[in-house]
Structure formats: C-alpha cells, structure tokens
A and B are shown apart, each in its own frame.
Chain A
Amino acid sequence: MAHGPATLADGWRAYISRWVFTTNHKDIGTLYLWFSFSMFLLGGAFAMVIRAELFQPGMQLIRPEFFNQMTTMHGLVMVFGAIMPAFVGLANWMIPLMIGAPDMALPRMNNLSFWILPFAFAILTSTLFMEGGGPNFGWTFYAPLSTTYAPESVNFFIFAIHIMGASSIMGSINIIATVMNMRAPGMTYMKMPLFVWTWVITAFLLVAVMPVLAGAVTMMLMDINFGTSFFDAAGGGDPVLFQHVFWFFGHPEVYIIILPAFGVVSQIIPTFSRKPLFGYSSMVYATAAIAFLSFIVWAHHMFTVGMPIAGELYFMYATMLIAVPTGVKVFNWITTMYKGSLTFETPMLFSIAFVILFTFGGFTGLMLSIAAADMQYHDTYFVVAHFHYVMVAGAVFSGTAAIYYWLPKWCGKMYNETMGQVQFWVAFIGFNIAFMPQHFLGLAGMPRRYADYGLQFADWNMVSSIGAFIYGGAQLMLLYNVIMTIRNGKPTTEEKTWEGAEGLEWTVPSPAPYHTFATPPELK
C-alpha cells in the first residue's frame, strides 16, 4: 500500500471519488455517522416546529394538516435516518477493530448499503414539496389513513421505506458475515466485546423483521394502486391486520434501536470504572432473551383495538416478562461500577444518565404493559414520554457517549473535556424539562399527535417546549464540539486513550490507520 486515502490535497475529484467508491470500513463508518447526524438535525428541526406550535393553545404557526406531516416526518427521520444509521456507522468503525478483522466481510455491499440511504431520504423529504404534501399518517402509518385517505406522495414514501429496508438488510448481513468469519484467531464468541454481541443479535432481528415491514408497505401499495383490499374493510379486508403486521416489525424495531446502545454502554462503564464488566455471560443471555421476547409481545401496542380477552392477557404477561432481562442488564451495569475506581468523563456521564433515564423509561414501560391501565395511557403523551425516555435518553445518549468515547481513536484528537461536560448537562437538563412534564400531560388526558389542545394543558406544554429548545441547542453544541475537536483538538497519539480501556481497538495507534489488522493480532 504505497498510497493512502485521497485527501483534499489530491484534488476535488480524487477526494470525492474516494468517498463515493470507498470500500473501507472506516470511511463507510464515517459516512454513516455524518449522514445520521445530518438526519438527526433535520428530524430535530421538524421537532422544533412541532414544539413551537404546541407552545401555546391555538394554531399559531402552521395548519393541522402540516402539523401531521411534521409529526410523521419527525418520527420516520429520527428512527430510520438518525438512530439506525448512527449505530450502523459505529458498527462499521468498531466491529472490525474490536474483533481484529482487517475490514468488513462484504466491502462492496457495504458501500452500496450506505449510498442508497441518501437517495431514500431525499425521496422521503421531497414529498413535503409535492402536491398534497408529505406523509401525514404518523410514523406507524395505520391503514386506511395511509392508504385510501393518504396524499398521493404515499407512493414515494413506500419506495423510500423499501430502500431503507434494503439498506438495513444488507448492512445486517454484512455484520453477521463479518462476525462469523473474520474474528482474529482466539477471539471466541464468548470473548467478543459486548458491543459486538449486541450488534450480532440486532442484525438477526433486522434480517427477520425488515422483510415484514417491506411486506406491509407492499400490501399498502397494492391497496392504493392495484385494487386489492388487504386493509380495506369495504372490500373484505381488515385494518387491524395492518397493525398486527406493522407491530410484528415495530416491536423488534424498538429493540433494534436499543440493543446496540446497550452494547455501547457496556463498553464505556467498565472503562471508567476500571473494572471488567460484571456478569458478561448473563449480559449476553439477557440480550438474546430480550431479542426473543421482542417477537412475541407486539400486540401490547394494540390493547384498545378490541382483541379477545385471552389475547390481551397473553400479550400483557409476555410484555411484563421483558422487565426481567432488562433488569438484569441494569443491575449488571451498576454492579460493574460497584467497588470500581470511578471517574466521570463525558462518555461516562452520558452512560450513567443512560442507565438512570433508560431505567425510568423501563418503569413506564412496565406500567404500560398492564393492559387495564394502558387503556388510559394509550395514545396519550404518557406514551410519548415513555418512548422518548427509552429512545432519546437511551439510544441517543448512548450514541453521544460513543462519539466522545471513540472520537480520539477516530481522529487522533482529544475533545475539550469542559465543553463535553457542559454539553452533557445542557442535554440532560433540557431533556428532562422537555419530557418529564409529558408524563403529566398524558395522565391528565392529552392525546398524542394533537395539533392543538384545551386550556388545561397549556402550562406543561409550555414547559415541555422550553425544554425541547434547550435540548435542541445541546445538539448544536455537540456538533460544535466535534468540529472543534477535529480541527483544533489536542493531538493524542496514544493507543489507549482511556486509562481503564480494554480491547483490541485500543491496541492500534490513534488516529486509527486507514488499514488495521492486515495481519491478525495475537490474543492474550
């Protein structure tokens, strides 16, 4: 290898070709991460529009029709554009480094799975400018609102979902193939870092459920354009069928989002506790148990739809069970900290906040699993609060922790610790101001996806909006911190950035060279 990757010094064309044609796992990881961050900002902008409109009762800024497009696009962009690609990016960067592989197993497919994503989101976003507007039926797109009653742009939405699904499936196959075939000699399955384990399990979930999502949107496509009646009661179909199919994808999907986040936190907490992860094997089994359970609880999203009572009872019991393996994880993290030697750098702060706030979201999840109480919670702001505690304080906090944790390895520069901690506190406080009151709003009776509300909800909505703006600001600070680190950060060339860090990724120089582990490492 006489020649490294093209830089700007080699001219624009060479530089652009490098990124477009790259098959290098680090380049592709970087692309995924930047793409997902830009989607995060886009989805965040939609959220700001929502919270600005909800700042006060009455319609001030936008029309209800556009409001519905904003809630829908916010959900879709955040789930499929921000969170999922962020963790695929981390997987691309870190899995080969963690298992001692020179690259991903299928590098060309890796390139393809990334490069179709921007097209999917360009198509999805362009629907906002089409006649009739973009998707306005919620990220769960229940039929028949999303079929018979949908704007015409729904066909583009379906196409975009298909592309995202294809991308996810390719990415997952790649991860499975890499982990199965490219581990360094001596890296047995039960020696793999937990992040690798959680990602393998996630990849299997993805391969299993993305086709189900594809099936759901294909049935929609048929109903809309080819006269079938899968979801149309007038033609002998059943709108409830849609919900079963959607949630058979949708519930595993929420674990697809959280499992890699578990993995990240399971890397970071031991590092800053200077102590090995407690209960490694029970962590692996708990992850597998959660993944299995995630397939058999889907109808807890449908308690009010009129299922027979036997069905309700089954789905209630099964859902309650998920609390057990989830609890095991939380206890393991805390016991890892017990009798450690703790320091609280930014990644650790985010990870601790993750444990606390995710557990809080787990508690509300447990409450939601009680069907009789869910009849009151369902489709209110209580549910909105629940899933933002698990998805934002869960997945997004852990993703942020990962950025601070591995940034020195990626770019060979150290971020500014004070700035990192300031950003943490702004995010932590903003998040709680934004979402804690939403529990109260939901319990007091405010339904979700409401463009306008009665006067009794005015106070908490205003508080929530203020918190949301603060939290939004914290993301701009994160962007600033990352850019300043890359441009002006203090160079750090040590292999091991963190005193307590363990694992193969900390045996290569910083910044990680373009090619690593061309010869497999020796495992102690």
Chain B
Amino acid sequence: MLKRAQALFLSLLSLVVLLPIAGSALAESSASQLNMPQGVTEVSQAAYDIHMIMIWVCTVIGIGVFGFMFYVMYAHRKSRGAVAENFHEHLGVELLWTIVPTIILIVMAFPATTALLKVYDTDNPDIEIKITGYQWKWQYEYLGEGVKFMSELRTSDDEVYGRAPKGEHYLREVTEPLVLPVGKKVRFLVTGNDVIHSWWVPDFGVKRDAVPGLFTAGWAKTDKPGVYVGECTELCGQGHAFMPVVVEVKEEAEYNAWLANKKAEAVEYASTIGKEWTAEELMTKGEGVYLQSCAGCHQADGNGIPGVFPAIKGSPIALGPQIGHIAVLIDGVPGSAMQSFADQLSEVNIAAVIHYQRNAWGNDVGDVTQPIDVLNYKQSK
C-alpha cells in the first residue's frame, strides 16, 4: 500500500514540475510550434502579451494549489498513520478565497480591456479591403481602386489524396495572395457570400467572422514585409480546411507597382467583354472555370450527386433556353446551395462556363453564349 501511494505521489509530483517547465518552454519557443505567435502588428502583440500574462498568472496559482494538494496527498495518507480531523467550515478562509481571486480578476481586467480596445481601433484607415468568404475561397476587393480578385487553394488534389508527394507549402499556397504595403493602416471589411466563414491571419491578430449580410471590421499595420499565412476558422462545409489565407506584405513602391498592374489588367479585361468569342475559345475557358467553380458539387462528369446536387448532364436547364441558364447563374436558386455567381465570376467566365455546360458530356445545344449576353441580362435587372 505504501509503495503504491509513493508511486502515485511521485508521478503526480512530476506533473507539477512539468507544468512550469512547459510554461517556460512556451515562453521561449520561437519556433511557433508550441506557443501563440507574437506576430507583426500591434494587435497581435497585444494578444500575445495578455496571453502570456494569463499563462503566468495561471501557472503561479496552479503551482500553489496543486503544490498544496500534493503535499496533502503525501502528508495525510492513512498509510502514514494520518487520523482524520473533523473540521468542515471556516468562514475566514472561505471569504479569503472568494475575495482574493476576485481582486486578481479585477486587476487582470485592466490589461484585458486595453488589449481589446486595440483590436477595435479600426478608425482612419489608409486602405480599405473588402473580404468576402465563398465556399471555398476568398475574394479581395480593393475599395475605390477597381481591383478585385479571387484567391483559391493552389495545392493539387493529387497531393491531398496521396497520389503525389506533398509540397513544402502544402495547404498554405493560393492562386493569388492578398497584397498589402508596409506602414499603412489597412482596414478589412469581412463578409460572407454563402455560409459563415472566418478570416484569420495569426501574425496580424485578426480573426473576423465572414457572416452573410453583415460586415465585421478588423485592421492591420505592419512594418515587416513578408508572407503571412492564415486559415478559415469557421466550419463552412467540405472545403473548410482547403481555403487558406495568404497575405504578402510588400515595400510601398513594389505594392504601388503591383496595384498599377492590377488596375491595367482590369481595364484590359473590360474590353474583352464586348469581344465576339468563338465556340472553341469558350469551350476551353469554360472547362477550366467549371472544374474550379462547379465541379465541387456538380462533379467533373456533370452527373452531380443524386439527392444532393443535381446533374448538369441532360438537365432541362442546360438543354433549355439560354436565358434561363444565365438566370440560374446570375440569380442563384434561392433556398438551395446554388448561390449567385454574379459577383464571383466575370462575365467572360460565366459565358464560358454556360457554353461549356451546354455542350459537354453529350449535352449538345450547339448555341454560343457571349459575355455580352450575360452583361445584358445583368443590366436588365
């Protein structure tokens, strides 16, 4: 009996000893493997500081409480001949251990409040970016600049399903990162298009839910150029783990060059809307768009998933009048998972994918849908 009690005591003791060691390991590990990153903004630094304060407060209390407990477990064992006393009340200590923790909490409320005020300090930004969560990608719009693009996972399915070796940036790479300049206060206005997502960049200390019909604001300002990777942190369906956030912070000159280039692209693109596209061009482009944006639900072979997502192959809409097909893409189907793609895909891409759907897998309508048809439909509303 004695042996067993001693073994018990020792193993529990080792736990107490490990606790502070784990604590200090946390404090020191720079290799963000164990602890919260300090990040590169005021907000992330504030979160880190209050986090460390809390860890230390808890560690100290923990050592006190558990230390006392293990002492009791060692000293007042029956096997050591301890005889139980019979007291069961003491107003003094009971008041003490109600009041002291209350005071500790009141003291901690001050830094906690200051830190939160920092998170909410979103006024007077230099740059504003609207971030929209889609199933399963992010759209970034530089407000007032006419620049807007989608940012999607670049890791291939082959890597995910083990048919190809995983790259160094597995699940941390996107088609087009969000680009920001150093030294400028950037305000993020976050919203959702379909379900709720959440836009998180740990190094910025920004995590804002992307709720349909609502805007939430966050901000960041950093002096450190670099690439910062984040995640979607609100369950949003099967692609939840596959819509990372990548932000590239550049020197101001580089950023300006990038932005100018983006604007030029946008202007050039606008001119392609009026162009007459050939069936082949549309077919090729449409296949790409389909695989990116539609195949997740309707499947690459157009067969859908019975009972969940309807097939496109042989569907009355795909084989029916063109205008009805356009309407489904622009308006979505209310009350279903089929959302509107009006803001998500360009007119060219919508025209291409409609053309593809009407003429692939044995669908053979044979007509040609032009971007201008899509634009006309949009404007008629």
Contacts and interface: CB of A to CB of B under 8 A. Distances in A.
A44 B113 CA distance: 40
A131 B4 CA distance: 55
A275 B54 contact: no
A452 B211 contact: no
Interface stretch (A248-256, A441-449, A485-493, A512-520): A441-449
Interface string B231-265: 11111111111100000000000000000000000
Given A316-B112, A370-B115, A454 B94 contact: no
Interface stretch (B34-42, B124-132, B137-145, B314-322): B34-42
A447 B108 contact: no
Nearest to A72: B235
Interface residues of A, number: 100
B135 to A, nearest CB: 8
A375 B166 contact: no
Interface in A430-485: 440, 443-445, 447-456, 459-460
25 contacts: A64-B239, A132-B305, A145-B196, A149-B194, A233-B214, A234-B334, A239-B214, A274-B78, A274-B84, A275-B84, A279-B90, A320-B105, A334-B65, A335-B93, A339-B87, A342-B73, A352-B12, A359-B62, A363-B61, A372-B118, A452-B171, A452-B241, A452-B242, A454-B170, A456-B33
Given A148-B335, A344-B5, A277 B239 contact: no
B238 A455 contact: no
A149 to B, nearest CB: 5
B207 A376 contact: yes
Contacts of B205: 375-376
Interface string A66-89: 001000000000000000000000
Contacts of A137: 235
Interface in A343-359: 343-344, 349, 352, 355-356, 359
Contact of A378 (B44, B82, B194, B233): B233
Interface of A: 57-60, 63-65, 68, 131-133, 136-138, 142, 144-145, 148-149, 151-152, 227, 233-234, 238-240, 273-282, 304-306, 309, 312-313, 316-317, 320-321, 323-324, 327-328, 330-331, 334-344, 349, 352, 355-356, 359-360, 363, 366-367, 370-373, 375-376, 378-380, 421, 440, 443-445, 447-456, 459-460, 500
Contacts of B200: 447
Interface string B56-81: 00100110011011001100111100
A136 B208 CA distance: 23
A330 B109 contact: no
A240 B214 contact: yes
Contacts of B305: 132
Contacts of B236: 145
B231 A445 contact: yes
A306 B214 contact: yes
B295 interface: no
Interface residues of B, number: 108
Given A64-B242, A370-B50, A379-B233, A360 B308 contact: no
A280 B88 contact: yes
A360 B61 CA distance: 11
Contacts of A336: 88
Contact of B207 (A334, A370, A375, A448): A375
Contacts of A68: 235, 237-238, 240
Contacts of B44: 376
B119 interface: yes
B349 to A, nearest CB: 23
Interface string B277-293: 00000000000000000
Interface stretch (B155-163, B355-363, B371-379): B155-163
